[in-house]
Amino acid sequence: MHGLSHRLSCGVIVLACIAAGGVGAAPAVVDLYVGSFSGSGTILEGPEANSHQVGCQFTILQQGATGLSLQGTCRAYLILTRTVSARLSWDPGSGQVTGTYTGSRVGTAKLTGRQRGTDFDLTIEWPRPLYGDTTARMRVASLDQDRFRIVVTDRIGANGPVRATTDLTLLRQ
């Protein structure tokens, strides 16, 4: 269950980062990520990195001129519910996104990255190792005005392969 919480965390972090990137951008980008969303997908969990289905619901709100906040829950197996939150800010001059994510068992994660068009390339920095290291990569891609996809990749084991640990598609409610 602890590994499952980590994987749910990664997906949520990505969603939060996506939202943050759009704040200082053109209104069309902001419209893509502010609102209520639900979605489903797969996460990897445990030492063998087994695949599991997950469902999530989030509300993303604009905070000031260049910030966003995310509040939500993710569920797996109808018995595990994880509450998650993120706070992000965006520098319109540089395109840099920074923030924090709360909800993982390893502690608060640092988020950094850049907006690229309507998509986001991000890094998660965990305070303690997860699957043998303290970083993971996130890619958030707009599929259309009401859908986006979050893919988190991480190395499984100290010298293992890089795999997608979270793959979620989220739809506007």
- Mean pLDDT along residues 125-153: 88
Identity of the amino acid at 17: C
**Helix, strand, or coil (residue 71):** strand
Which pTM does this prediction carry? 0.79
The pLDDT score that the predictor gives to residue 30 is 64
Per-residue pLDDT of 47-92, as tens digits, reads 677 788 989 998 988 877 777 788 888 898 877 787 878 887 877 7
Gap between the Cα atoms of 88 and 11, Å rounded:
15
- Is 61:86 a contact under the CB 8 Å cutoff? no
The pLDDT score that the predictor gives to residue 23 is 39
97 vs 18, 35, 119, 122, 154, CA distance in Å?
9, 19, 12, 8, 20
**Residue appearing with tokens 């924090």:** 100
Q: pLDDT confidence of 160, banded at 50, 70, 90?
A: confident
Domains of the chain: residue spans and CATH: 2-172 (2.40.128.20)
